[in-house]
Structure 1
Amino acid sequence: MKKYVQHLLDDIRNAHRPADYFEKAESSVISEEDELDEHFAEVDRYLNLEAEPNFSSYCGLKKEMFPPSDYYDLKELQKVNIEFQQMMRSWNLEIDLPKNFPPERAYELMLGILDRSVLVGKYGFQHFDFCTGNPEGCELKEYCPCIE
């Protein structure tokens, strides 16, 4: 494995959400009513997603840190993709791609999330499937499930 790839994998592992991330914001025990209010506030934030910070501001990774997909051999690229998805899950973000989706394209789509506004929520996950419901202009192109 290339030395830079190993350093990049370490950076991705270090970008996981800290275990106490949500506890830092809570200074005391909250009631069920307060927790419900927090949940609805989170839903409201999701409805105004464009006002949320981009994912890079949460995890600390920058798109510029990642070389083009052709820098990697297949095994390295698959490892980077897996580690990146695991890191995303730690932030309550999930990516869903079609089976047999090319790893090079998955890599590019995942890196694009770094520049997107995201909601890091305590009460749920933000899900990225890249499907607009219309195969025309879809980021998944010929792999779009709407084509079937």
Structure 2
Amino acid sequence: MHHYLTQLLSDIAAAKRTEAPPLPAEPASPFADAERYLHEAPTLALAQHCGLKAADFPPAERLTEAQQEAVAEALKEAYFTYGVSLALPEELPTALRYRFYIEALNEKCWVSDGGMTTIEYCEDGPESCPFGWRHCACLDDWLDKVEAIRNKPPADWTEEDYLEDCWLTAIQENDECRMALEQGNSPNKRYVLQLLADIEEARVRFCRAGGFIRLEEPEEDAPGAEYRPFLEWMDMPDAVFPPLERLAEPEAEALSYALLLLYGKDSLAVSLMAVSAPARYRQLVEHFTMPIRRVGEMQFLAPRGGFDFSRFPDLLEGL
């Protein structure tokens, strides 16, 4: 690995842009870049600009932390020569920083002979932050918001207040359940931890796409629409969720919260928080193995009658 890493760092250094791109034949408007950013979408990925390929970089777990840091810093310097930077939190763990610098190669972005392009990641707050809620730049503001909600009399809570409170609770419970699983010695620990990692990868991809799952039942089905299990839509077609009776309680609880966090802040999520972990796990797995239709980036519709949503009481009704 040492030899490969040395060659990789050499390739990154060679990929730096040492001179500006050739000027156009005719003088361009001084506002040409700004107009392009506003009215056109970039067509080339960063990899096409610099010649590096994400597939050439080893997984973080095969490198030491110092090696991950060296590669991330080298990529940061190389991207800067193209006028590209990444909006990453300062305290982001090294493995995550390494991953985002590699994944940036697949991002379509503008490269010009002046100015900087910043690749943004977190736009909607901690609950959908691809860095994880603990590393979100908006975390303090969000925690202050929920604290203010919890200081109000429950009778004064709005539907939004219930959703914010529920979501913070779900995130905290998810962290605690995973920590308990890691520290324990349950029979399926290794398999469940890998499944949790796969779910988290899917969550990051979905956050990058713009949000969470919205699973609803449409007024009517669309003739000829493509229905696939949600596990296929989220690029986990081979994922196997064990039957509830084969899971230890900490395993079912950890999986139930991880799956719940794939949902948006809506009344269904609040209702699922109110049921037991085994019931939550069973119903969420049913959701994700049921054929559904995708409409847009993040909206998924169940077939008519395919899932009985009435089994979950709307806990926000009447607020």
> What do residues 70-121 of structure 1 show as CA deviations (whole Å, max 9, x unaligned)?
1111111111011000001010011232222111101111111111111112
Looking at structure 2, the residues matched to 10 and 71 of structure 1 have their Cα atoms a distance apart, in angstroms, of 19
> Which deviates further from its counterpart, 130-139 or 61-70?
130-139
> Which deviates further from its counterpart, 52-61 or 92-101?
92-101
Looking at structure 1, the residues matched to 33 and 90 of structure 2 have their Cα atoms a distance apart, in angstroms, of 31
Q: Give, in angstroms, the shift of residue 129 of structure 1.
A: 4.2
Q: Which amino acid aligns with 1:83?
A: A
Q: Give, in angstroms, the shift of residue 48 of structure 1.
A: 4.3
Structure 2 residue aligned with 1:43: 34
TM-score, structure 1 normalization? 0.84
Of 136, 156, 166 in structure 2, the residue corresponding to residue 144 of structure 1 is 136
Q: Which amino acid aligns with 2:67?
A: E
Identity of aligned residues (%): 24
Higher relative contact order (CA 8 A, sep 6+): 1
Matched, 1:58 2:56: no
Q: Is the 8 A contact 1:49 1:119 kept in 2?
A: no
Looking at structure 2, the residues matched to 63 and 92 of structure 1 have their Cα atoms a distance apart, in angstroms, of 19
Q: Give, in angstroms, the shift of residue 12 of structure 1.
A: 0.5
Of 94, 103, 126 in structure 2, the residue corresponding to residue 135 of structure 1 is 126
Q: Aligned Cα RMSD in Å? A: 1.9
Structure 2 residue aligned with 1:84: 75
Looking at structure 1, the residues matched to 40 and 94 of structure 2 have their Cα atoms a distance apart, in angstroms, of 28
Structure 2 residue aligned with 1:5: 5
Q: Which amino acid aligns with 1:15?
A: A
Q: Which amino acid aligns with 1:144?
A: C
Q: Which amino acid aligns with 1:14?
A: A
Q: Is the 8 A contact 1:92 1:120 kept in 2?
A: yes
Q: Is the 8 A contact 2:42 2:109 kept in 1?
A: no
> Unaligned regions of 5+ residues in structure 1, if any?
none
Structure 1 residue aligned with 2:231: none
> Unaligned regions of 5+ residues in structure 2, if any?
141-319
Structure 1 residue aligned with 2:64: 73
Matched, 1:97 2:88: yes
Looking at structure 1, the residues matched to 62 and 12 of structure 2 have their Cα atoms a distance apart, in angstroms, of 17
Q: 1:88 to 1:51 in 2, by over 3 A?
A: closer
Based on CA coordinates, which of the two structures has the bigger radius of gyration?
Answer: 2
Matched, 1:118 2:109: yes
Runs of 4+ in 1 over 6 A off after TM superposition: none
Looking at structure 1, the residues matched to 113 and 124 of structure 2 have their Cα atoms a distance apart, in angstroms, of 28
